Amino acid sequence: MSMRVTLAFATLRRNPARTLLAVLGIAVAAALLLDMVMLATGMRESFRSLLLTRGYQLRVSPKGTLPFDSEATIDGASAIVAALRANPDITAVSPALGSTLSLPGNTFPSVFTLGLEGDVQGDYVLDAGTDMTGPRDSVQANAPLTAVVNRTFLVRSGKRLGDTMTVAAGLDAQLRTAARSRVVVLTGEGRFFYVPAETPVMALPLREVRTLLGPAYRDRMSVAMAESRRGDSAGVEAVRSWIASTQPRITAISTETAIRQVEERLSYFRQLAFVLGAISLGIGFLLVATLVTLSVNERRGEIAVLRAIGTQKGGVLRQVFLEGLFMSSAGIAGGLVLGLVTAQWLNAILRDFPGLPAAFDFFLWSPEAAWKSLALLLVSGTLAGLIPAWRAASIPIVRALREDAVG
Amino acid sequence: MTIRMAARVALAILLVAAGAAPAQGQGDSALSPTYGRRAPALRGIAVDVRMAEDFGLRPGSVVRLSGTPGVPGDSVQIAAVFERKADPAEVARREYRIRTHVGHLQALLGLDDRVDRFAVGVPDSVSVDSAVARINHVAFGFRAHKSSDVAVQSSRTFRVVERFHKAIGLITVVASAVFLLCLLLLSVEERRRDIAALRLMGISRGTVVRAIVLEAALVSVIGSVIGAGIGWISSLIVNAHFQQVYRTPLLFALLTPEIFAFATLTSLALGIGAGTVAAWRLVRTPPLTLLGR
């Protein structure tokens, strides 16, 4: 076997430019295949991990809508949240109210604001400073509110933690007054999971946001997140069904449902990945098959000599097979590196999508899927060399020797 | 507070058999009095074709429309069915769309004299920039934007997809270039005896190179034409499939003369380049060496 390996290597080394080009071709095909597999699996896994960042497996939104897909809100939020919290199968419920508040006298006129309950919120993690006042802490009327903002807000407003500013709601364009306004102290900087990185965002206590928005909002929420005690699919689905049957005015969406709906929206990329992945596989197969075929045709005389001195058909077959295997292996190794680099580049392009959460990735390294796809390419590339190898081993020795001598 | 028609209107649409007597207006928001003529018995709304298909609606159908789930809402009549625009930014959004009078929607949502936006037209003699500046100078609680700026912002999704396609295209071109070079290198080397014979007969290096390059160019052009054919058939399949998936008239793949010309020229350039490299490698080798002597 070691002799076969040595001969196969020697054959590949005899034409370094050709071998290098072949390896490069397989590497590009492997890189494209890897990228497409990462694209096909990455969106699903990235979105799943995003949704489960804080362990909430269920989202509750206004009936017929996806969370924050519209500006619809749920009335009677307190009763709904209380009913959910009373269910022993639900360990936590985090209501949120999203709205746009005005920033009088600021560098940008308004900010997307999330009203949250600090002790159960699952929308951000605190990176610096202190958290906003929790819902159960006493907040004196007209005392400054505490807010957590993201990095983009601080950069664009030119503010720092500890600074104060005014937020307002209920603007009347004719009277040029705000119906309600409060002074806010920026106490913390947070990383918001579901908000695009380029969007300035502010988190305030839910109760205060409701007060700011006026009487119509005193018992409203945009969305609520719920955590099922049982983390398995059946347990989560049981809770979802219970919510759907007991709360007719809302839609409960499990992580799996949300992933399915997002995949529907982004099915174009999955299908593009499938088509391009199949093309890459085809290119890899054709490349190896063509190269080995031409290489074998070129060495008919050499193979005939090997057969004449007693080399078995199987020996010739193994040697040509090994050449294909080495070329494919080297190409795939190079393709792995090239694929990871190009995936970063393509991911950077797609992450410019407007409205995409900062933590969302299109290309995600999934070891199992990646190794499977590269193994598939290796097998197809190696098998591509089998037909020419068999033909080479079946050459009539005498005729081949004569053709080689006469030309 | 803004109005989002498609989102705020609950899926509380109760179909009434077409031609049925109009609802009695119990619970309906009050219709504006119309002096000098009779007020219409039912308000008319327009629904998008996707919604019409899914709910079996057609002009004349009577449905109930509500801003809140579980609330009876208003009886309205389908006055028209409209085709959705081929807008890339909206292609993946699955919600239904209706069009109704702004006053009606305000009443349904319990909003007092509020709108999402105004479209403002200015005379040709007025600069759009100066109009925007003047509006923003006195604006309170709203902001004016040029339509062109809004268009740029709303087409960001499409531009990202375009950049992604270009990147994929670049990778594909590189793969094709390597593939082509490999094939030409091998096919030319396979004929080294013929080339050696030509050289020994006195055919110049340049002539040999030109012949090989011409052959490579011809192969590239023929390949491009076949590729364009495959691409055209693929684009038909892609369009048929995705137009059905997203239920949109949007064209997802389009083979234009410019794209064909670009692909053919790229292929031709790659073929000529690869042919030149392959031929040059061979003609530099002495003919007798090529013959194995």
- Given this model, what pLDDT does residue A223 score? 94
The tokens describing B154, both together, are 């709303």
The tokens describing A304, both together, are 């005939």
What residues in A contact B6, CB-CB < 8 Å?
70
- Look at residue A247 and tell me if it is in a domain: no
Q: Would you mind telling me the total number of residues written for chain A in this entry?
A: 407
Q: Which residues in chain B (152-211) have CB-CB distances under 8 A to chain A?
A: 153, 156-157, 160, 163-164, 167-168, 171-172, 174-175, 178-179, 181-183, 185-187, 189-190, 193
**A83 and A224 fall within a common domain:** yes
Residue A389: which domain range?
2-50+265-406
Residues A124-174 pLDDT 10s: 999 999 998 754 444 566 678 899 999 999 999 999 999 999 999 988 777
Q: Examine the fold and report which residue of A213, A230, A247 is the final residue of a domain before the chain moves on.
A: A230
Mean pLDDT, residues B47-56: 90
Mean pLDDT, residues B105-110: 85
**Average pLDDT value for chain B:** 79
Residues A375-387 pLDDT 10s: 888 888 777 777 7
**A31 and A72 fall within a common domain:** no
**A356 and A280 fall within a common domain:** yes
**A222 and A97 fall within a common domain:** yes
**Average pLDDT value for chain A:** 85
* Calpha distance A128→A162 (Å, rounded): 11
Do A123 and A205 form a contact (C-beta atoms < 8 A)? no
- Look at residue A245 and tell me if it is in a domain: no
Which has the higher per-residue pLDDT, B182 or A141?
Answer: B182
Burial of A26 (0-12, 13-18, 19+ CB in 10 A): buried
Q: Examine the fold and report which residue of A172, A206, A230 is the final residue of a domain before the chain moves on.
A: A230
- Look at residue A249 and tell me if it is in a domain: no
- Given this model, what pLDDT does residue A128 score? 93
**A304 and A345 fall within a common domain:** yes
- Asked if residue B25 has pLDDT above 50, the reply is no
* Calpha distance A201→B138 (Å, rounded): 26
- Given this model, what pLDDT does residue B42 score? 85
- Given this model, what pLDDT does residue A305 score? 84
The fraction of chain A above a pLDDT of 90, given in percent, is 32
Q: In the 8-state DSSP scheme, what is residue B119?
A: -
Count other C-beta atoms under 10 Å from residue B32's C-beta. Answer: 10
Note whether B183 contacts A295, CB cutoff 8 Å.
Answer: no
Q: Examine the fold and report which residue of A230, A248, A276 is the final residue of a domain before the chain moves on.
A: A230
Question: Strand pairing partners for A204?
Answer: A115
- Given this model, what pLDDT does residue A315 score? 82
| Closest alpha carbon to A321 in A396, A378, A258 | A378
Which has the higher per-residue pLDDT, A291 or B37?
Answer: A291
Residues A233-261 pLDDT 10s: 889 999 999 999 999 889 999 988 888 87
- Asked if residue B94 has pLDDT above 80, the reply is no
**A104 and A224 fall within a common domain:** yes
What residues in B contact A69, CB-CB < 8 Å?
7, 95
Residues A306-320 pLDDT 10s: 888 888 888 888 888
- Look at residue A336 and tell me if it is in a domain: yes
- Given this model, what pLDDT does residue B7 score? 38
**A100 and A221 fall within a common domain:** yes
- How many domains is chain A built from? 2
Pick the most confident of A131-140, A298-307, B18-27, B128-137: B128-137
> What Rg do the C-alpha atoms of chain B give, in angstroms?
33
The pLDDT-based confidence of B27 (bands split at 50, 70, 90) is very low
Q: How big is the A-B interface in CB pairs under 8 Å?
A: 127
Among the ranges given (A97-101, A143-147, A220-224), the one the predictor scored with the smallest mean pLDDT: A143-147
What b/e readout covers A337-363, taking b as 16+ CB neighbours within 10 angstroms? Answer: ebbbebbeebbebbbebeebbbbbbbb
- Look at residue A394 and tell me if it is in a domain: yes
- Look at residue A244 and tell me if it is in a domain: no
- Asked if residue A295 has pLDDT above 80, the reply is no
Q: In the 8-state DSSP scheme, what is residue B75?
A: E
